[in-house]
Chain A
Amino acid sequence: VQLVESGGGVVQPGRSLRLSCAASGFTFSAYATHWVRQAPGKGLEWVASISSDEVNKYYADAVKGRFTISRDTSRKTMFLQMNSLRAEDTAVYYCARDPGFLERIFDYWGQGTLVTVSS
């Protein structure tokens, strides 16, 4: 199992960024996937989840209405579209696999991609 995030970088407040998570080593369509972030020196914060059938999507209150989670099963890739970015969104963003349809735990993680929101 391998998860590789990309798309992070420095972005100004109010702008947008799209993160990607490329999956390999497992049947992508059979597992839910998630985004979890960690601000510098802080703890873990769940961001969003998408079920294996892509029907169910859930968001943390802090990002609801600004972030959108999606998947492209044919490309085995998950995305996080982040709009109206704020300084408090600065964090390492991890993608993580769920052990099932939507158990909401994280059994494999990527290495993370850093998003810095600053003017």
Chain B
Amino acid sequence: DIQMTQFPSTLSASVGDRVTITCRASQNIIRWLAWYQQRPGKAPKLLISKASTLESGVPSRFSGSGSGTEFTLTISRLQPDDFATYYCQQYNSNVVTFGPGTKVDI
């Protein structure tokens, strides 16, 4: 199975900051990578697919980039609603795997 790693595991930031989360795959997944946001006690929300395609309704301050084995999620100006845990997910194979998550807190 393809293993996913994320760093940092926790990120402390302030409103207005630019934050970047990195996700690495154990093998080439081309651009088959998605990002999700999960707030405490809530279901995850799909933010980005195909490494950089923003889902409908997702604010433009979110962006994704990368290909192959290394990917990033950037939040250009952190807003109060953005304090949450973010997960990457590869879907290059029938067995999909998530990263361990990055918690963005104040």
Is residue B46 contacting chain A, with contact meaning CB distance below 8 A? yes
Is residue A10 contacting chain B, with contact meaning CB distance below 8 A? no
Residue of A45, A58, A110 near B94 (CB, 8 A) is: A58
User: 1/0 per residue B83-106: CB within 8 Å of A?
Assistant: 000010101001111111100000
**Judging by beta carbons under 8 Å apart, are A105 and B95 in contact?**
no
Interface of A is mostly: loop
Interface residues on B, range: 20 to 34
Closest beta carbon of chain A to B43's beta carbon, Å: 4
Take A105-B34, A107-B55 as given contacts and tell me if A46 and B97 are in contact as well, using a CB distance cutoff of 8 Å: yes
Q: Which of A67-111 contact B (CB under 8 A)?
A: 94, 99, 103-107, 109-111
**Judging by beta carbons under 8 Å apart, are A104 and B91 in contact?**
yes
Closest beta carbon of chain B to A24's beta carbon, Å: 16
Docked CA distance A36–B91 (Å): 14
Chain A residues with CB under 8 A of B7: none
Is residue B81 contacting chain A, with contact meaning CB distance below 8 A? no
Is residue B66 contacting chain A, with contact meaning CB distance below 8 A? no
